[in-house]
Amino acid sequence: MPRFFVSPEQIKDGRIIITGPDVVHITRVLRLGRGDCLTVLDGRGRSYEAVIEKAGAAEVVCVAGSVTAAGGLPAVKVTLVQGIPRGDKMDFIVQKGTELGMHRLIPLICRRSVVKLEGDKSFRRLERWRRIALEASKQCRRPDVPEVDAPAGWDRVLAGMPPEAAALIPWEEEDGETLKDFLRRSLPKEEVYVFIGPEGGFDPGEVDKARAVGVRPVTLGPRILRTETAGLAVLVMVLYQWGDLGGNG
């Protein structure tokens, strides 16, 4: 059955309103109309069996049927706090992070960040990243869409971390604890925050600030990974060790 995402605000009083490019796909590509069935997901883990009531040029109105909890959500919620990189690297990080099971992305403004996002530029980038996350969720048949936050500074991100979450910061100057050892020795957490620096890495003062509130510096090994590789590598390792990546067997 065709699957479409809507925001929770588009589901009200037993009706689901589908707008945007999906309208063209439903009416012109799939040629669906009144009485046809769809699966609609709210992007937060709920799935609706819906029947088209009206298919117009601007919107498709559906009657919401049975609602179930969509399966396939990772047991561990990994938030990637990514230092804003140059060019289109963040597009790649959002797309691949969505496919692998990232729960949330927070673009982090760092001292060594080259890219400065302000005003309309910040808004356009944010809308682009959210659109990429949505399309990637459709492609890999995720039941949800990862949250993509507006760019934020250190103080806001650190203050917003849940106290019970595990928080890791891979750092090239850490030579004591490895990520492998941390994951093996620690009990799995429901939430994990992973801090990744931009191309120039983290300033030592930023690492000290993070360490002061409980973020654990770890090493990923002898090789220095690019910013667009490091976060995805940690995401894979965390979800393999503590989550469902690789299967539940």
- Read out DSSP for the chain? --EEE--GGGEETTEEEEETHHHHIIIIIS---TT-EEEEE-SBSEEEEEEEEEE-SSEEEEEEEEEEEPS---SSEEEEEEE--STTHHHHHHHHHHHHT--EEEEE--TT------HHHHHHHHHHHHHHHHHHHHHHT-SB--EEPPPB-HHHHHHHS-TTSEEEEE-TT--S-BHHHHHHHSPP-SEEEEEE--TT---HHHHHHHHHTTPEEEB--SSPPPHHHHHHHHHHHHHHHHSSTT---
What pLDDT shows up at residue 249?
Answer: 53
Residue boundaries of the structural domains of the chain? 3-69, 77-242
Judge whether residue 245 has pLDDT over 60: yes
CA distance 51 to 49: 7
| pLDDT band with cut points at 50, 70 and 90 for residue 73 | confident
Judge whether residue 220 has pLDDT over 70: yes
Fold match between 3-69 and 77-242?
no
Question: Among 1.10.10.60, 2.60.40.10, 1.10.630.10, 2.40.240.20, what is the CATH number of 3-69?
Answer: 2.40.240.20
Averaged pLDDT for residues 199-206: 91
Take residue 151 and report the two structure tokens written for it. 């760019």
Averaged pLDDT for residues 82-94: 95
| pLDDT band with cut points at 50, 70 and 90 for residue 143 | confident
For the question of whether the overall pTM of this predicted structure is more than 0.75, the answer is yes
Highest mean pLDDT of the ranges 93-102, 119-128, 166-175: 93-102
Question: Among 3.20.20.140, 3.60.20.10, 3.40.1280.10, 2.40.30.40, what is the CATH number of 77-242?
Answer: 3.40.1280.10
What pLDDT shows up at residue 114?
Answer: 75
| 110 residue type, one letter | C
What pLDDT shows up at residue 111?
Answer: 87
Nearest to 99 by CA among 80, 124, 115, 127: 80
What pLDDT shows up at residue 10?
Answer: 93
Averaged pLDDT for residues 136-142: 88
Any idea which residue has 């009416």 for tokens? 27
Judge whether residue 151 has pLDDT over 90: yes
Share of the chain above pLDDT 70, in %: 98
| pLDDT band with cut points at 50, 70 and 90 for residue 113 | confident
